[in-house]
A and B are shown apart, each in its own frame.
Chain A
Amino acid sequence: MFRASRTLLQESPLVQRKLLQLPAEQRLFEETMLRGRENVNLVRQLIRNRVHMGHRAFFSNRRMYQYIYGERNGMHVINLDKTVILMRRGMALIREMVANNCTVMWCAPNKDEIFRVVSPLAQQANAYLLRGKFVPGTLTDPVESRQAVRYGYKLPGCLFIMNTKDNARAVHEAALLSIPVVGIVDTDVNPDPVTYPIPGNDESPQAINLYANFAMQAMLEGKALRERRGGGSAGRSR
């Protein structure tokens, strides 16, 4: 069973270099520490969008117990304390990716109604949104699978997956290639192979809308950061 270790080596060389300017643990710890009242509204927003609702207790994956707060009416409730921190962490990664001129690939649920919500946000963020099935070999064998066009002929810097359970294949391939994955994991998903798991609801369209909005915001921030740091003259402008 492939198990991704969440060390710095997991992240791509560019990000690694940047982060090593600071003592790494301190940098991320500082980044992810909650800053008081600022996060209260975030937690309330998450609750409002039903991010805390997990699946039925029977279906929960044992490895998600660390993120589960408890059980209510037979449904598991996700601990938003951890969600907030991990969300910040994941979004920080996406931001850094874009700031360092890397592309981000999104995977969203294929259901028409939810996809329609995510699609304009991905477009606004200049992300590559994968529509439909993740063809095995998309990342590991772009030539044979002929899927490289879907993500612009350049291996993405990181993956943002909103329905990790259905895209286990994508998670696996990214891990094989050392591409970090920011994934929303619901209570019935195994979070181990995901680099930056974000425990949260993956069923409700409001929740998915929220995640996509956060990711889009992170990417736009990253773009601004890139321009501030001196423009992406080298490489593509995407």
Chain B
Amino acid sequence: MEGVGFVSGSGALGVVRNAGVRKCQVPTMVATKATGKQSKFEAMRKKYGVAAKDLEEVGFSYDEFDAAVADYEYNLTMGETVVGKIFECTARGALVDIGAKAAGWLPADEFATAPVEIPSEYFAPETAIELIIASREDSNGQLTLSLRRLEFQRCWDRVIQLQSEDVPVFCEVISINRGGVLVKIQGLRGFIPQSHAGDLNMENAEVGRQISVKFLEVDPAKNRLVLSKKLASASRKMNNFAPGQVVEGVVSGVKPYGLFVDVDGVSGLLHISQISHSHIPDVSALVGVGQPIKCMVLNQDKNKGRMSLSTKVLENEPGDMVKDAEKVFAGAEEVAQRYREKLEAEKKASAEVAEEIVSALDFARV
């Protein structure tokens, strides 16, 4: 035997080729015989009395080889989504057939968004799954893949879509801390600040409860997902408070700067300056948490779910709230009515003034 070049008599494939590397980006494959003289293989065939093979007998030419190779051609870049078939799954990770030279490697950490208990049994062999290519080819030509990244992308897309639809969605409470509540929604972790927590009980017994929330802030780039329970319940109850309306609520929180009053699920701030005309040194001495209170709505911010309240305007005489709160509440309605009328009058007056100015301008132009 001279060498491999001899034995590889490609007689059966029916064509003879030049040795060397060819670039076959152009998919035409043509048999080229050495010009003029017999090829080595022809000579060999003659020597041993073997008949030459032709294409019909063999049925496979280099053209077909080329076409078959093109079928399996692939061009995979980082960040691309591919469909792969699981070849083998172990505790460290899984080999996935993505049509490339080397099987892609899916590490166990990247199986799902949450850590998996038994990685070796997570995938059955031969399942087809969609993956994202997480890295460039390494020295062996192997690509690292990730399922987790793809799932996260999808979760964020879903959340953004839900936000645009502006519907209340359900989420599950994970933990409660001083600042607010950590929840799990659509596979992502979100946060409800305490100001938007509404009437959630700040006890650990709440963990695992499903609550309805709306989206406040959705920012995938910064990985921020802020939700609001108040908005969801407010929209559900559709509470509309007009300015000047007298409402009755329960004190839900006492702070140095005022009171938080919960009116039918909507929380409003009764600022210390709005409680009474006279100075109040200590708010907690005046009212305690859980006490009923009547106040008037100054304005309501539906977007933020906040409301400004006041009892100062309900006082007949300045300092009434401090002295006798009950009397103020009793006469609240009449006072409110008078206040509203006053507001109307003011509005009308300012409108007239505005009109005069405008008409004067018109006159001037003319």
Give the interface of A toward B (CB within 8 A). 6-8, 25-26, 28-29, 32-37, 39-40, 43-44, 47-48, 50, 52-56, 60, 65-73, 75-77, 79-82, 85-86, 89, 112-114, 116-117, 191, 197, 201, 203-206
Contacts of A69 in B (CB 8 A): 22, 24, 65, 69
Residue of A55, A79, A197 touching B101 (CB-CB under 8 A)? A55
Q: A73-B75, A113-B88 are in contact. Are A25 and B20 (CB under 8 A)?
A: no
Indicate if the CB atoms of B140 and A112 lie closer than 8 Å: no
The B48-92 residues at the A interface (CB cut-off 8 A) are 48, 50, 53, 57-60, 62, 65, 68-75, 87-88, 90, 92
Contacts of A33 in B (CB 8 A): 9, 11-12, 50
Query: Top 4 closest A-B pairs, CB basis?
Result: A34-B12, A203-B102, A70-B24, A53-B101
Name the residue on B nearest A34 (C-beta). Answer: B12
Knowing that A33-B12, A72-B69 touch, tell me 12 more A-B residue pairs with CB under 8 angstroms.
A28-B7, A34-B13, A43-B65, A44-B68, A60-B21, A71-B22, A76-B21, A77-B69, A85-B9, A114-B95, A205-B95, A205-B97
Contacts of B1 in A (CB 8 A): 6-8, 25, 28
Name the residue on A nearest B70 (C-beta). Answer: A72
| In the complex, B8 has a CB within 8 A of chain A | yes
Name the residue on B nearest A43 (C-beta). Answer: B60
B36 to chain A, nearest CB (A): 23
Contacts of B73 in A (CB 8 A): 72-73
How far is B237's CA from A7's CA once the two chains are assembled, in angstroms? 93
| In the complex, B212 has a CB within 8 A of chain A | no
Residue of B21, B24, B87 touching A205 (CB-CB under 8 A)? B87
Q: A73-B73, A86-B8 are in contact. Are A40 and B59 (CB under 8 A)?
A: yes
What are 17 A-B pairs with beta-carbon distances under 8 A?
A6-B1, A6-B3, A28-B1, A29-B48, A36-B59, A37-B58, A53-B72, A56-B141, A65-B19, A67-B4, A70-B21, A71-B21, A76-B21, A81-B65, A85-B8, A116-B88, A206-B87
Contacts of A34 in B (CB 8 A): 11-13, 53, 58
- Type the 1/0 row for B9-51, where 1 means its CB is closer than 8 Å to any CB of A: 1111100010111111100000000000000000010001010
Name the residue on A nearest B68 (C-beta). Answer: A47
Name the residue on B nearest A39 (C-beta). Answer: B12
| In the complex, B103 has a CB within 8 A of chain A | yes
| In the complex, B142 has a CB within 8 A of chain A | yes
Indicate if the CB atoms of A66 and B4 lie closer than 8 Å: yes
Contacts of B5 in A (CB 8 A): 66
Indicate if the CB atoms of B102 and A32 lie closer than 8 Å: no
Indicate if the CB atoms of B72 and A112 lie closer than 8 Å: no
Residue of B60, B92, B102 touching A112 (CB-CB under 8 A)? B92
Indicate if the CB atoms of B4 and A86 lie closer than 8 Å: yes
How far is B3's CA from A197's CA once the two chains are assembled, in angstroms? 11
Indicate if the CB atoms of B12 and A203 lie closer than 8 Å: no
A72 to chain B, nearest CB (A): 6
Indicate if the CB atoms of A204 and B101 lie closer than 8 Å: yes
How far is B9's CA from A89's CA once the two chains are assembled, in angstroms? 12
B19 to chain A, nearest CB (A): 6
Contacts of B102 in A (CB 8 A): 203-204
Residue of B19, B24, B59, B100 touching A66 (CB-CB under 8 A)? B19
Contacts of B20 in A (CB 8 A): 65
Q: Which of B10, B50, B88 has the most CB of A within 10 A?
A: B88
Contacts of B53 in A (CB 8 A): 34, 36
B32 to chain A, nearest CB (A): 13
How far is B142's CA from A203's CA once the two chains are assembled, in angstroms? 8
How far is B9's CA from A132's CA once the two chains are assembled, in angstroms? 37
How far is B21's CA from A67's CA once the two chains are assembled, in angstroms? 9
Contacts of A85 in B (CB 8 A): 7-10
Indicate if the CB atoms of A205 and B101 lie closer than 8 Å: no
Q: A37-B58, A53-B101, A86-B7 are in contact. Are A113 and B12 (CB under 8 A)?
A: no
Contacts of A56 in B (CB 8 A): 137, 141
Indicate if the CB atoms of A36 and B72 lie closer than 8 Å: no
Indicate if the CB atoms of B12 and A36 lie closer than 8 Å: yes
The B223-262 residues at the A interface (CB cut-off 8 A) are none
Contacts of B3 in A (CB 8 A): 6
Contacts of B21 in A (CB 8 A): 60, 65, 68, 70-71, 76
How far is B75's CA from A148's CA once the two chains are assembled, in angstroms? 46
Contacts of A60 in B (CB 8 A): 21
How far is B100's CA from A204's CA once the two chains are assembled, in angstroms? 8
Indicate if the CB atoms of A81 and B10 lie closer than 8 Å: yes
Name the residue on B nearest A75 (C-beta). Answer: B101
How far is B90's CA from A136's CA once the two chains are assembled, in angstroms? 30
B57 to chain A, nearest CB (A): 5
How far is B75's CA from A47's CA once the two chains are assembled, in angstroms? 17
Name the residue on B nearest A26 (C-beta). Answer: B48
The B88-111 residues at the A interface (CB cut-off 8 A) are 88, 90, 92, 94-95, 97, 100-103
B354 to chain A, nearest CB (A): 73
Contacts of A79 in B (CB 8 A): 17
How far is B100's CA from A54's CA once the two chains are assembled, in angstroms? 10
Contacts of A191 in B (CB 8 A): 4
